Amino acid sequence: MIEQPATCRIHVEALAPAFQTQAEQWAERLGLPLQMDDGEFALQVGEQGLQLQQLGPDAPGPVRVDFVEGGAAHRRLYGGGSGQMIAKAVGVAQGVRPRVLDATAGLGKDAFVLASLGCEMSLIERQPLIGALLEDGLARGAEDFDVAPIVARMRLFKGNSIELMRNWEGEPPQVIYLDPMFPHREKTALVKKEMRLFRPLVGDDNDAPALLAAALALATHRVVVKRPRKAPCIEGPKPSHGLEGKSSRYDIYPKKALKA
């Protein structure tokens, strides 16, 4: 069952009678009620899949995971390919497509970009609601002709990233990518909406130093940490170098060279 803070009253609802059964299934899986008179968030099931909607007169629109249309599709088609900063940060190069673990998957946007470039991706999401949105988005992506081969390279795990990394089974990832929750200052409406929705549910990643330590112990070749451009590095070992953009940067902790 999801532990709901006093300020986060959440229920599940179907947007049409045809989706009632799915809504009941999600409610049972997540341990959430189907009705709530004073709810602050609704996990809604409808034609466009699963979405999280904040309730109230000033609430922003719903958030869902969509790898087929919208921003994900635009970035897949016109995002700059292997020349993107995130691709360079994780070591994508000619003949090199590392196995990457995104240990702070969120809505899966960065993982989808890397998967679209040919990287085999493992994703970990510890917040059950966000994990549900991501699971739903991957399932819908698998039904699209163009996107299916990409999401086939994305494997989702749910749980505590630190514990899962410490107890990793099988071949370890070459690269681990971290994007811990941080007080973002980006001004785009989409980021504002997502942060406004997720901040009460997720909070800040106060265990980021332990997250970094676990990643450094598991990754065979490098760890990459995404940070707001002017934010301090995560407490712990210092990165050897970084790549800086307009609003964010990538701190790079190398262990071994990636080779074709």
Contact 154, 111 (CB under 8 A): yes
Question: Looking at this protein, which amino acid is placed at residue 36?
Answer: M
Question: Looking at this protein, which amino acid is placed at residue 108?
Answer: G
Q: Which three-class secondary structure state does DSSP give residue 94? A: coil
> From CA 181, how far away is CA 115, in angstroms rounded?
22
Closest Cα partner for 121 from 147, 139, 103?
103
Neighbours of 111 (CB within 10 A): 31
Rg (CA), the chain: 18
φ, ψ for residue 213, nearest 5 deg: -60, -45
> From CA 62, how far away is CA 40, in angstroms rounded?
13
Feature table: binding site: 125-126, 179
Tell me 202's DSSP state: H
Feature table: binding site for S-adenosyl-L-methionine: 125-126, 179
Tell me 239's DSSP state: P
Question: Looking at this protein, which amino acid is placed at residue 192?
Answer: K
Beta strands in 166-247 (DSSP E): 175-178, 222-228, 241-244
